[in-house]
Structure 1
């Protein structure tokens, strides 16, 4: 039986200002993604990206993650509350971000960047897909440090008590997600990216990989108490992940078919 260390969510105190671990995890994710993007353009010459373009794209991605993640949480999880308290929509410091909203935000941001740079949209998403996994991994570590989003009760040896929640041993589902969505998916995508792939394939791998991992981990993650389980006993996260898996399968087949026609 393990007990959550109950970390101080504030990493640095600067007088009246504080720097929280959760914010630092986002920063680490963006910095790692930026470094990895530079590594890709230096080792994969067929990409034909410049350092300036990588920096510009990541700026778009940052805004997409923040704006999309917040609006996704507002619309997918607590629409009635935030429509009644609209001023709190911008209160990011109180928490409340949605991956699926952030994903849609990055999708829109990538589309805008594609128009500006005159690149194909799927070329943009193929480039971004491996880089996003750093943010996923670090973000889930931030959830773990905060002791938020704990798992469902378990009797497994690595079950963990989260004192801020209750005294029941639970799955450390944040760590499951950090491992699968960050390390495992990231490793797979970077290995896949070492070879030139048909346009859209890396994006399809990301959609199928993230959607599948998130769907599975949700079986160990405690549903939001204000939502509970929805139709068919599935959580909101699972219902939002299913379209990603389906879209990934469709994109993968169409990308391979297009590549065969071109050849």
Structure 2
């Protein structure tokens, strides 16, 4: 397979999402700007290698098990997931909240791991593993530790779209929120991304002082922001500091100028 073919095959794979889990040849052809014949050839290769599968009744294509397999390998071998596993499980038990790990990627955060207080604890949400930074506690926990230049660049290229009536869409308000986040050490999301849901997020630092990612605890907004808010925040900060130590971070080591590393 040539470099061009690899590039085209990857374009096809990135078309699939939570909103478009299944696609037909015509849809794929139109989306990537290639002929149906070319698309058929690429799909055959992706089917053979397990990266796509075909739904027989509809004849449409979905992501294959090989994608899932590689994702499991990736998540299981990430340092932050490995270091966070024990502390995150303990945080979930202590707070009785769903807890997550995320990393910074581009201008958003990607959820890479989670922990539940009970085996069947399921938190309803309306987003996938990639979450907008400006309206999530995990994202704001990272944004708060960007230097002014990097934050200004992020704000310049990011449209602050409202997902709920509580989403912050004014840049000045967001900047003030991030300053407060930096002061107290953790970020808050009061129904900014999902109706009825609240979230607290704290940054995790790696050995060079850069932000490795963030952890969060999520639940019904009344539970998160209720009379146990300070207890939840204290437990979150303690856990984030513990994971940061496991990542080799020395407290106080140049967090003020740190920027997230690409993953």
The answer, yes or no, to whether TM exceeds 0.5 is: no
The structure showing larger relative contact order (alpha-carbon pairs under 8 Å, at least 6 residues apart) is 1
- TM-score, structure 2 length as denominator? 0.29
